[in-house]
Structure 1
Amino acid sequence: MPSISTALVTAFAVSSFLVLYAYFLYPAGLWVVSRFVSRSTPTLAAADELPTVSLIIAAYNEEGVIADKIENSLGLDYPEDRLDIVVFSDASSDRTDEIVRSYADEGVELERIEGRVGKTECQNRVVDRVDGEILVFSDANCMYDDDAIRRLVARFGEGVDCVVGELRHTRTDDDVEGESLYWRYTRLVKRLESNVGSVVKGNGAIYAVRREAYVPLPADAMSDFAEPLAVRERGGRVEYAHDAVARERTAGSVEAERARKTRIATRSWHTVAQHLGLLNPLQYGRYSLQLFSDTVLWWTTPLLFVAAFASATALWFLTGSTFFGLVVAGFVALVLAGSVGHVLNRRGSSVPSLLHVPHYFLVGNYSLAVGAWNFLRGHNIVTWNTMNE
C-alpha cells in the first residue's frame, strides 16, 4: 500500500505542478527575465520613410462586415501611395465579391480563389501576386485603429521579420467575464514573450511579415501560428506590438467559442508537428522552452487536470486525508458551477461571473481535449466558416 500511495502522491504532485507552471509560473518567469532585458521603444517613421504595405484581408461569406472592413482600411493613417488593399475571397457564395468589386475605383483589389481551399492556401497564392515590402494579414471582421499599420511597421527593426499586433474584443450583450479574463491573459503572455525574445503565437486579426521573409505554408497549417514559427525557424525574430490594435466582436456565445477553439486546437497540433525542430533547445535555446510551455504543455493541461483529480480522489479514499478531500471537493465544485453555467447559457439566461468563469474554463479545456484527439486520429480542419472564425 505505501508504494501505491507514493505513486499516487507523485502523480498528483507532478500533474499539479505542471498545471501551475503552465498557467502561472511560466508567465511569472517571463516577467522576471524581462526585468533584466533592455528593449528600445520604437518610433513612428515619417510618411516619406515608410515602406510599401500590402494589406491582405481574408474573406469567406462576409457580406455583413466586408464593407465596414474596407471603409476601415481606406481610412487608416498610412500614405495611400504606399498601401495596397487586397481582399481574397475563398469561393464566397454570398455578396462578398460584389461588395469588394464596388470599391475597385478606390484601389481595392479582389482576388477570388476557386475551390474552397482554405485561408492558408489562399494566403500563399495572394502573396505571390502582391508587391508590398511588408505584408499585413487581417480577417474581414477585425477593425484596425487608425495607426495600427504604422505601429506594426515601426517594430521591424534589425533581425525582426514578423510582427504580431494586439487583438482586443469589443463588448457585446453576450460578453462575459470568463472570455475577457482569457484574452487579457493571452495578451499579457505575448507581451512578456516579446520582451524576452520572440513571441510564440500570432493571431489572424493582425500580423505582418517582411515580403522576403514570408514562408509559403502547407494548406493544412494554421497560418497565423505557422508563419511566425516558420519565420523563427529561419532565424528571424517575432515581435509583439501591443499598440497596434485590431478590434473584433467576440464569438457571441460560449458554444460558438467552443467550435472556434476546437478548430484552432486541432490545426495548432498539426502545425506544431510540422515544426518539431523548434523544440530543440540546443538550437533555439530559450525559445524552445517558450514554445513547449505556451503550446505543448498548455494544450495537455486537460489531461493533467484529469490525472490530478484521479490521483487526489484515490488518495482521499486510501488515506482519508482532509487535504485531498478538499482538493476533490474543489474539482467537483468547479464542474458543478460550470455545468450550471452551461445550463443557464443554453436557456439563454444571464450567467453570473461566478458560474460563467468555470463554464468558460471547462469549455476551453474540452476544446483542447477534442483538438488533441482530432490530431491523434489524423483529422484536420482546413476551411473556416464565418460563424465560428
Structure 2
Amino acid sequence: MELFYKVLFYLSGFIIFWAMIGYPISLKLIGVLYKSRTLKKDYSHYPEVTVMVVAHNEEKVILDKLQNILKLNYPQEKIEYLIASDNSTDKTNNIVRQFIKKHQCKNIRLFETKDRKGKTNAQNEAKKNVTTEYLVMTDANSIMEKDSVRELMAAFTSEDISYVSGRLSIINQESSDISGAEASYWDNDMSIREIEGRIQTITAGNGALYACRTKDYYAFDPIQSHDTAMPQFYALQGKRAIANHDAIAYEKAGESIGDEFSRKVRMNRLILKHILPDLRILNVFKYRWFSYFYFGHRTCRYLLWISHFFLFISNALLIPESWLFTVVFMGQILFYILGLVKLITKSDNKYLSLVYYYCVTIAAQWVGVYNIITGKAKSVWEKAESTR
C-alpha cells in the first residue's frame, strides 16, 4: 500500500504543479521558440457580420449595450444587430423594441425564445435568423471597444480559422479583493491563450466577445458553453480557434464571494466531461500542440478538485515514512489555514486574497461535481447583480 500511496501523492502533486506552474512556464518557453510566428491581420477584410447580443432580464444594462454596439467602427451597410432574448420577463424586450423604433435606419432585430433554456439555446435559435457570413457574439453586460468587430474580422486571414476570441478586460478590479483576484486570473490566462493561438489553437475562449464563421456554427447542447465547446470542436475538425486581444470587451467581475462562487459553479457544470471530452485529443500525431495545450490548460485544471483531495489523504498516510511528507503536509495545512484567515478576518492582503480565491475555485469544482452526480447541473442560471 505504501507504493500506492506514493504514486497517488506524486501524481496528484504533479497535476497541481503542472496546472498552476509547470504548464504556464513551459508554454512561455515554447512561445520563445515560436516568436517569429505572429498573429496576422487583414484590415481590408470587411465581410457582412451580425452582432448577436444574448440577454435574459437585462433591463439594467441592455440600453447601454444597444447604444454601445451602434458606435462600433464598422461599415454600417455590412453590419446587422440581433438581440437574442432568452425568455426575458422584465423590461428588457420593451426597451429593445423602443430602441428599434427610434433607430429604424439601423438593422436591429429582436429574437425572443419561447422558453428559457439558457444562453446557448438562445444562440442556437437566434442563429437560424442569421444570413451574414460572420457572427459576432457578446454578452449584454459587456461593453465593446469601438474597433472590436473590425479587429475580430481582421484576424480571419485563412480558411482554417473558424473562431476568434477577443480579450475580456475587467474594469472593477479595484472594487474588491475578489474582483481583483479575478482580474489577475484573466491577465495570466490571456497571456497563455495568446501563445496557444499564435502557435496553433486556443483551448477556450470567453463569452464576452468572440466570432465565428456562420457556416461553421454548430448547435451545441444547451448545457454546453461556447467558451469551452467551440474551440475544442473546431480543433478536432482540424481548424483553428485563435485569440486577437486587440478586440476588447469591458466587463465587471463579481465583487462578492457569493457571486463569484456561483459563477464558478456554473462554469463547472460539465467538469467531469471536460477532463477529457474526446479521446481523439490524445492523438498528438494528428492534433499536435492542441493535445499538449488541452492536457496542461484544461485536463489538469479540471482535475484540481480531486488532486488536492488525494494529495492531502495520501500525504497524511505517508507522514511516518519521511520528514519530507511531514513538511509537505504541514504546508498544506498552512495553505488552507491562510484561506480561513482571509475568510474570517476579511483582510485585504493581496496574498491572502489569492490563496482564498484559489480555495474558492477548488470548492466550486467540488460543488460542480456534486451537481452533476445529483442531476442538479443545468443550463440556466441567475446572473450576478454585482457584474451589472
Give the TM-score normalised by structure 2: 0.91
Aligned sequence identity (%): 28
Q: Which residue pairs with 2:330 in the alignment?
A: 329
1:141 shift after superposition: 0.5
Q: Which residue pairs with 1:354 in the alignment?
A: 351
1:270 shift after superposition: 4.3
1:179 shift after superposition: 2.3
Letter matched to residue 153 of structure 1? M
Q: Which residue pairs with 1:366 in the alignment?
A: 363
| CA RMSD of superposed structures (Å) | 2.1
Measure the CA separation in 1 of the matches of 2:234 and 2:151: 20
Q: Which residue pairs with 1:67 in the alignment?
A: 63
Q: Which residue pairs with 1:156 in the alignment?
A: 156
Q: 1:268 to 1:139 in 2, by over 3 A?
A: farther
* 1:86 counterpart SS class: strand
* 2:205 counterpart SS class: coil
- Over residues 155-177 of structure 1, what are the superposed CA-to-partner deviations in whole Å (9 max), with x where a residue is unaligned? 11211111011111112522444
Deviates more, 1:272-281 or 1:35-44: 272-281
* 2:270 counterpart SS class: helix
Q: Which residue pairs with 1:168 in the alignment?
A: 169
CA contact (8 A) 2:56 2:88 kept: yes
1:263 shift after superposition: 0.8
* 1:246 counterpart SS class: strand
Matches within 5 A, 1:293-332: 293-316=296-319, 318-319=320-321, 321=323, 323-332=324-333
Q: 1:132 to 1:186 in 2, by over 3 A?
A: same
Aligned counterpart in structure 2 of residue 9 of structure 1, from 6, 10, 15: 6
CA contact (8 A) 2:143 2:251 kept: yes
Q: Are residues 1:187 and 2:190 paired? A: yes
Unaligned runs of 5+ in 2: none
* 2:354 counterpart SS class: helix
CA contact (8 A) 2:144 2:250 kept: yes
Deviates more, 1:185-194 or 1:372-381: 372-381
Give the TM-score normalised by structure 1: 0.90
Q: Which residue pairs with 2:219 in the alignment?
A: 216
Measure the CA separation in 1 of the matches of 2:271 and 2:333: 30
Unaligned runs of 5+ in 1: none
Measure the CA separation in 1 of the matches of 2:97 and 2:279: 42
Q: Which residue pairs with 1:140 in the alignment?
A: 140
Q: Which residue pairs with 1:45 in the alignment?
A: 43
1:275 shift after superposition: 4.2
Aligned counterpart in structure 1 of residue 91 of structure 2, from 72, 92, 95: 95
CA contact (8 A) 1:266 1:371 kept: yes
* 1:166 counterpart SS class: strand
* 1:35 counterpart SS class: helix
Measure the CA separation in 2 of the matches of 1:375 and 1:279: 24
Letter matched to residue 21 of structure 1? W
1:154 shift after superposition: 1.0
CA contact (8 A) 2:269 2:372 kept: yes
Deviates more, 1:61-70 or 1:99-108: 99-108
Measure the CA separation in 2 of the matches of 1:54 and 1:206: 13
Q: 1:13 to 1:222 in 2, by over 3 A?
A: same
1:78 shift after superposition: 1.0
Q: Are residues 1:239 and 2:239 paired? A: no
Q: 1:365 to 1:231 in 2, by over 3 A?
A: same
Matches within 5 A, 1:107-146: 107=106, 108-146=108-146
Q: 1:175 to 1:52 in 2, by over 3 A?
A: farther
* 1:386 counterpart SS class: coil
